[in-house]
Amino acid sequence: MANEMTGEGDIFLECKNLRKSFTVKRKEIRVLKGLNLSVNRGEIVAIVGKTGAGKSTFLRVLSGLEQQTSGSVIFEGHRMENLSNEELALLRRENIGIIFQNFNLLPSWTAYENVEAALLHIGMSKTTRREKVKTLLNNFGLGDRLDNLPSELSIGQQQRVAIARALANEPTLILADEPTGEIDTETAQDIIGHLITPVREKGVTLTIATHGIFPLDIADRVFYMKDGMLVSQQ
């Protein structure tokens, strides 16, 4: 397989004429108005846009958590709109890591339990799972915070737990929604390092949404989301 990964032309994720509208009080809000995008395997793509531009909606559609109104999302050759909810859930569990805008950590679960959640129901023994979660959190400098609840962690630490959870199932695709949204520049650099290193080492494909302050130079390509469309920077 690896020798087929020729980089250029090895399309991993594709959107074709992707549209998404919401109907609120009988009024149609058109958010995505015909997006086209091809992302190669191992590529880091940044989507930049103002608040309300549709970045989170786009990532939710890419993850299969939200159904598009029309158009296609093709993940490793599979048209996601043809998959059942169960198939989509399986695809997410096994292949996709999601870092949500507000982390989405379960407040009554410890750091350990939050990361472990990503490894349930994929046929992994409890012993292997425990080793894996501990190693991951250790790598993120949280080896001594396993039993802490999110409320007992700093924002930066919570963000690292969220990233550890997204990496736990060794996804081929990571969708990161404003991963440095709420934190100071120094913590942001640290978090980006934690995210980018495993992504580059393992050839994971990463799509990052950001509304502004973000070191865009870590991305291979940058797109702007404007008026429901994606515009390439270069």
Ligand X SMILES: Nc1ncnc2c1ncn2[C@@H]1O[C@H](COP(=O)(O)OP(=O)(O)O)[C@@H](O)[C@H]1O
Least distance in Å: CB of 225 to ligand X? 7
Out of 31, 44, 115, 199, point to the residue binding ligand X (CB under 6 A): 31
User: For the chain, what percentages of helix, strand and coil (3-state, to nearest 5) are there?
Assistant: 35, 30, 35
Residue matched to tokens 């108005």: 33
Q: Is 56 in the site for Mg ion (CB under 5 A)?
A: yes
Structure tokens, 161: 């737990």
Determine the interface stretch with ligand X among 5-13, 22-30, 150-158, 179-187 (rule: CB under 6 A).
Answer: 22-30
Q: Which stretch binds Mg ion (CB under 5 A): 22-30, 51-59, 129-137, 212-220?
A: 51-59
Instruction: Tell me if 57 contacts Mg ion by CB under 5 A.
Output: no
Q: Which stretch binds ligand X (CB under 6 A): 1-9, 21-29, 129-137, 161-169?
A: 21-29
Instruction: Note the residue count of the chain.
Output: 234
User: Could you say whether residue 54 binds ligand X (CB under 6 A)?
Assistant: yes
Q: Which among Mg ion, ligand X, none contacts residue 2 (Cβ within 5 to 8 A by kind)?
A: none
Q: Which is nearer to ligand X, 20 or 165 (CB)?
A: 20
141 touches, from ligand X, Mg ion, none (C-beta below 5 to 8 Å by class): none
Contact residue for ligand X among 41, 43, 49, 173 (CB under 6 A): 49
**Sites for Mg ion among residues 67-126 (CB under 5 A):** none
- The residue among 55, 117, 129, 124 whose CA lies nearest residue 92 is 117
- Is there a contact between 119 and 195 (Cβ–Cβ < 8 Å)? no
Alpha-carbon gap, residue 168 to 161, rounded angstroms? 10
- Under the binding rule (CB under 6 A), the answer on residue 56 touching ligand X is yes
Look at residue 126 and give its three-state secondary structure: helix
Among 148, 60, 42, which residue's Cα sits nearest to residue 100?
60
The tokens describing 20, both together, are: 């998404």
For residues 71 and 205, give the distance between their C-alpha atoms in angstroms, rounded to a whole number: 22
Give contact residues for ligand X (rule: CB under 6 A): 22, 24, 29, 31, 49, 51-57
